[in-house]
Structure 1
């Protein structure tokens, strides 16, 4: 009778072990890296909201200063990229080739000036 309990106990333990370990070895669906739909793209409003929540978390001492500054800078860079893409999209519609390059450079300089202002306000 003891052998029956040993066999049943061993089967239960092996079954539990299998269910715990199997997710680590199964190949799940990996989303394609370059395929973003329109709904998956971040908007400026979402980035501003994320920065506001991040500031609230920092003020409530949920995250450290280093993490806060690193994440805030990442969000600012994302916002700058979105602004740059929007500016390029709008200018491409209105400007011919050579003027477009000049306007792109001006937009990039403006974005950098805005980032510098934000960094000075932070410091």
Structure 2
């Protein structure tokens, strides 16, 4: 009985390991794969550049690889800074539009208040 159980377990393990090799279904879409570099911050990029420089200075990284990787991460940092500056200008523009709209509303309210006061003064004069 023990031999039969052992053979069944070994057979099941062998099947599970070998099954992907015999499967014709190999559908990989790169859009569905999420990479660690999809979300990165400016600080992470600068930390990576710093680590690259340290590894190069310690002799762990060849000069060609160092220059290639450093240029790549510098480009990423520049792109990230451009995105942040664009988002900052959009925020400033949105805030200035909101302030302008608020000032227009306040101006209209002030004009209405002034007109009410003038009407009240005219009514008081006519009443005297």
* TM superposition score normalised by structure 1: 0.49
TM-score of the aligned structures, taking structure 2 as reference length: 0.47
Rg larger in structure? 2
